[in-house]
Structure 1
Amino acid sequence: MTTPTVLGRWADSLARNGARCAIKSGPRKVSYGELAGRAAGYRAAFEGAGRPTDPVLIATADPVEVIAAVLGCAAAGRTFAPVDPRLPAAVLDGVLAALRPGTVVADAVGREALAGRRLPDGAGIVHPETLEPRAWSAEDRPGAAPEDRGYVYFTSGTTGRPKGIRGSLEAVHHFVDWEIAEFGIGEGTTVSQLTSPGFDAFLRDAFAPLCAGGTVCVRPDDGTPVGEGLARWLTENEVEVLHCVPTLFRTLRSAALTPDSFPALRAVLLAGEQLHPSDVAWWRGLFGGDKELVNLYGPSETTMTKLFHRTTEEDAHARLVPVGRPLPGVAARVLTGPGDPQDALGEVELEVPFPLLGYLGEDEWRGTATTYRTGDLGRFRPDGTLELFGRRDQQVKVHGVRIDLGEVENALRGHPGVEDVCAAAVTEDVSTALVAYVVAPDVPDAELRAHAAQLLAPGLVPSVFVRMAAIPRTLNGKVERRSLPRVRLQRAADATRAPQGPAETRIAAIWSEILGLAGINRDDDFTLLGGDSLAIARLMDRVRHEYRVDLPLRAFLQDPTVTGLASAVTDRTARSGS
């Protein structure tokens, strides 16, 4: 491969105005020149460490350092693999075993996470705190151009071990080049960076503005803002293009938005999970078509977005919001059987105009050198836009009936009161039931069951409806099925374990609202009840709003129970004199 164009475009932005703000992180502003100095420092560190073919593991909590290290790797022709240093120890062990890095970039958080982990023999650690910036010059490096050795991003695999997805900077450039042109990103455009460094969408959020002379606005140090906090962050930073998953986007419903909110915002680009007609109706009801709402689709295996759809008024009243049409150079196909009708459901296959590099190790690739079978079920509308219907592998048997969980979920989503849903076959003792986990606060079970019965064959109607405040999802928007609570949820709190006192009683009530569970006990663990990272963020936002205290996240994680949180809030309130 030749010089990665994405690196060349960033260097062009640097050459045009090195004093322009490249990254904004709270009050901290990093210019293009400063970023280039750190990238050059990393490049020098990498060129003297290990073989050129040895990958670089980037385990740092600071997004500025992640971006600088990625640029340094690209300039040095080294494969980079960013991870979130807060991953569980067992997952980090799996990453290290699969990647075998020759160099590790680790700040204090990363070094603590890696302490006691076995690194490959000879692997060196680069400390961002002591890195010496260098002068950036494209002519510094001998030879014509650094090789595009791309990146590796890890995702969960069906075997339980991390699966490494390989990609190229050529593929990143394909997306970045499209987004810059499609959404008018240019010098001074501020683009949000709310994605964990451990997902390939982090590269989207960083390179789209940096390659156009814009500014990357990274999330606050205390985590992803939600609700009112997210609204305030978008306004104060004058974000023009917002990238996020629909789950995070929906938290804005709790903010007191008006048609005058977000004067700088031009477009909201949503990916990672299904966008619902109710999302479109709510947003357009506030802003009309002035602030575009765009649905994006593309698996990590093909590098970020491969189809997009600018939502319209019709989508607010549709059964499904389509994922749209392919980017230039991309082809989308629906694989159906011989004789199937034109609108039959089939597995979606994507073909891209660059090489696909597959997985690390021996994981089987479902496609060819330029195609990938996604495992998603879809079909084309008469107008040529693609709509999705869940996963091909979401088929279960309940009482001998084969059920596609995606079909059940889509039927329930058709009810206007259903905000989100996840269907599952749950086995308890010797019986199996079809369960629907639903976010539908104002719709009785009987109404949901009747609605499903009108659209689904007998045997496909859920027998149990579990109420949720939000469906637990991973950071990249996929349902985290392991975090779904057990069916036996509507329990009465035991008298000996019931919340005690006004603080515990109120905290338990907040938990019930967020998790959608009744009968919260005083020693229940928030995370074991299905509280994912976004639910924790919502909880801390509620506590901050109701008690007027700024409680550090670590204070909650030390004892994530009703008793522990009530005690921490009471103690912090007393010390602040509130």
Structure 2
Amino acid sequence: MSHETLLARWNDHVTRRGDACAVSAPDRTWSHRELADQVAGLHRLLTSAESGGAGRDAEAGGAVLVVCADPVRAAVALLACVAAGRTVAPVDVRQPAARWAAVLEDLRPACVVADRAGADALAAAGVAGVVLLRADECAPGTWSGQHLEPAARTDAGYVYFTSGTTGRPKGIRGSLAAVAHFVDWESAEFRVGEGTRVSLLTSPGFDAFLRDLLVPLCAGGTVCVAPSPGVPVGDALVRWLAEQRVEVLHCVPTVFRTLRTAGAHAGSLPDLRVALLAGEPVRASDVVWWRELFGDSKELVNLYGPSETTMTKVFRRLDASDTSADPVPAGRAMPGVTVRVLVAGAPATDAIGEVEIEVPFALPGYLGTDRGGFRPPNRYRTGDLGRIDADGTLVLLGRRDQQVKIAGVRVELGAVEEALRDHPAVHDACAVTADHDGDTVLGAYVVADASAGDEELRGHAALRLPAAQLPSVLVRLSAIPRTLSGKVDRRALPPLAAVRAAAGEDLPRTPLEQEIAALWSELLHLPSVGRLDDFTLLGGTSLAMARLLDALRTRFSAEVALRSFLLDPTVAGLAVAVEEARAGRPAPLTKEASA
């Protein structure tokens, strides 16, 4: 399938089945025709705005930065950019302020498309002097076949920003041809067709959003948009999947495992056919649990592929042989893709080396001059270590650098260290990960003056790093142990779990606060937490927040809104919110109750 048929294939459903459901969102449903008319309205704004750059790629300054928290508005913006032949660059609205400047400097967008949350985020970060188009205030237009013409003439592609080794976000350029190759494969491989209901749990700021959106749209299926903010987990995820009659589920293993803690059983998820897991390693215990519930009736699939090569390039249908595998194999290459393991620069079998992926389309590389692992025109050295067995199956065995995945989000340990070292009181830092009860925990060892407390260091890092890259544990050392060559002696570092105890005056005061603090410790893998500690600064990501609120619903029969928690994300503040929820009263809008 050539890239221009991404829009053409969707247009076929707009033309033939315009009244069929294209998007099922929490607040309403959108038919293919209604969605297309929204795209046409924003397309009109894009082409009439005095922004210049139409038809130019991101390197020439013709890109469109998309800053939308609402997945439907982000989808409309993405499709409008493709129709206008413009490079589209979606970003997460929750970025720390320091990242906005780097994104704008590297991308040099011709204009910005934002919804209300996105516009507020830009204003809070002090972003000014950009042409701003409001996706949520745009009147619909009339979609027609003429909207297909610019995309047929040019493959302007997309840009997604990911973590860089120095803390500066790195822009990955991708092509529509690459997206089309993936869409065509998944639609055929997993029988996604007219009416198939596919989950969308991904934030618009991650490239998997392209998968969750374009696979069902181009096949004539329905995009099922999860409630926001946050990803539903546990009981909420089970209910949502059942209510939405989701047939194809995409998620990271961390989210998938919450189905188990929710007590999903053999009668759960009656419409689900396949669960596709990507972004983190799958464990044998995941396969054991799934097969005990569903046997062969519902497929469980492991997906692997770096963002640089556009989503999945290796896959494996997990079966009984994987219930005792350590590690669970990544699988074999999808059609048209070649996977090699390089040892001393040469392909090898049954030997450990760096994984290289060759794809049937050009790889544009990164914004700027950084070539990284790209080998023009169509090969990428991933930095992952692996082995190819005699039958061609790829087994992943870690990284050759400091890159890790936390809940499916790429994290550069060097970027975490740089953010901490940037504080004037910090003399040295070392970021690490540890496995606690099956979850990957991010921590950091710091050599710092006593004048700067942990909360100050966390707040400083939060100005430079997204929540997923904030260390949940800070360990104070007099010096980072190093080898004679100057490298960190990681074997000499104390265990992360041995570190943090709340100060006496900060201990939880009431039985409810003690229960909530214990729950935090369980979720964040900390030995203890204080009543005034900030959940986000302890490394509590949006996924961790969703798991926390789901646990409150189960343990305390309290429906605490995410907004209420964010007003005061402390143990003390959450205790007040739980009490108010139990009493059926709204939580207070200030922090006075927790003081």
1:79 aligned partner: 87
Residue 446 of structure 1: aligned partner? none
Structure 1 residue aligned with 2:471: 482
How many correspondences in the alignment? 520
Q: 1:365 to 1:513 in 2, by over 3 A?
A: closer
Higher normalized contact order (CA 8 Å, seq sep 6+, divided by chain length): 2
Match of 1:151 among 126, 143, 158: 158
Paired with 2:345 and 2:515, the residues of 1 have a C-alpha distance of 59
What SS class does the counterpart of residue 471 from structure 2 fall into?
Answer: helix
1:67 alignment partner, one of 58, 70, 75: 75
Identify the residue that residue 297 of structure 2 maps to in structure 1: 290
The one-letter code of the counterpart of 1:10 is: W
> Structure 1's 505 and 127: CA in aligned 2 closer, same or farther, altered over 3 A?
same
- Distance in 2 of aligned mates of 1:434 and 1:55: 34
Aligned to 2:283: 276
CA distance in 1, matches of 2:413, 2:142: 55
The correspondence of residues 295-444 of structure 1 with structure 2, limited to 5 A, is: 295-337=302-344, 342-366=349-373, 367-394=375-402, 437-440=434-437
**TM-score of the superposed pair, with normalisation by structure 1:** 0.83
Query: Cα distance, 1:482 vs. partner?
Result: 3.4
Counterpart code for 2:436: V
Q: CA deviation at 1:32?
A: 0.1
1:376/1:391 contact within 8 Å kept: yes
Residue 23 in structure 1 maps to residue 23 in structure 2:
yes
SS in 1 for 2:326: coil
Cα distance in 2 for partners of 1:292, 1:482 equals 35
Shift of 1:497: 2.2
Write out aligned runs for 1:174-213 (5 A): 174-213=181-220
Q: Compute the displacement of 1:436 (Å).
A: 7.0
CA contact 1:75–1:146 (8 Å) conserved in 2: no
User: Which whole-Å deviations, capped at 9, do the CAs of 1:518-545 have from their partners, x for residues lacking one?
Assistant: 2322222223333222211111111222
- Secondary structure of the 1:286 match is helix
Extract unaligned runs of 5+ from structure 2.
57-61, 406-411, 421-425, 439-465, 476-495, 588-595
Is 1:560 the equivalent of 2:557? no
Q: 2: distance between equivalents of 1:575 and 1:478?
A: 31
User: What is the CA-CA distance between 1:365 and the residue it aligns to?
Assistant: 3.3
- Whether 1:101 aligns to 2:90 is no
Q: Does structure 2 conserve the Cα–Cα contact (< 8 Å) formed by 1:193 and 1:202?
A: yes
Distance 1:549 1:369, change over 3 A: same
Query: Cα distance 1:479–1:572, how it changes in 2: closer, same or farther (>3 A)?
Result: closer
AA in 1 matched with 2:288: A
Of 222, 226, 232, the residue aligned with 1:219 is 226
Equivalent residue of 1:220, what SS? Answer: coil
Q: Distance in 2 between matches of 1:143 and 1:574?
A: 57
Following the alignment from structure 1 to structure 2, what is the Cα–Cα distance between the partners of residues 540 and 196?
19
Letter in 2 for 1:504: E
The CA deviation string for residues 139-172 of structure 1, in whole angstroms up to 9 with x for no partner, is 3577793411010000010121111100011110
**1:56 aligned residue (64, 79, 83):** 64
Match of 1:518 in 2: 527
Residue 208 of structure 1: CA displacement?
A: 0.5
Instruction: Report the Cα offset of residue 103 of structure 1.
Output: 1.5
The equivalent of 1:542 in structure 2 is 551
Distance 2:127 2:370 in 1: 23
SS of the residue aligned with 2:398?
A: strand
- SS of the aligned residue for 1:524 comes to coil
Matched residue SS, 1:184: coil
> CA offsets per residue over residues 387-422 of structure 1, 9 Å max, x none?
101111149xxxxxxxxx99xxxxxxxxxxxxxxx9
Within the alignment, does 1:41 sit opposite 2:41 as a pair?
yes
Which consecutive unaligned segments of at least 5 residues does structure 1 have? 396-404, 407-421, 442-476
Q: What code does the residue aligned with 2:524 have? A: L
| Post-superposition offset of 1:554 | 2.4
Q: 1:151 is aligned with what amino acid?
A: Y
Structure 1 residues 540 and 81: CA distance shift in structure 2, 3 A: same
What secondary structure is seen at the aligned counterpart in 2 of 1:365? coil
2:497–2:527 CA contact under 8 A, matched in 1: no
Amino acid at match of 1:60: C
Comparing 240-249 and 319-328, the one that deviates more:
319-328
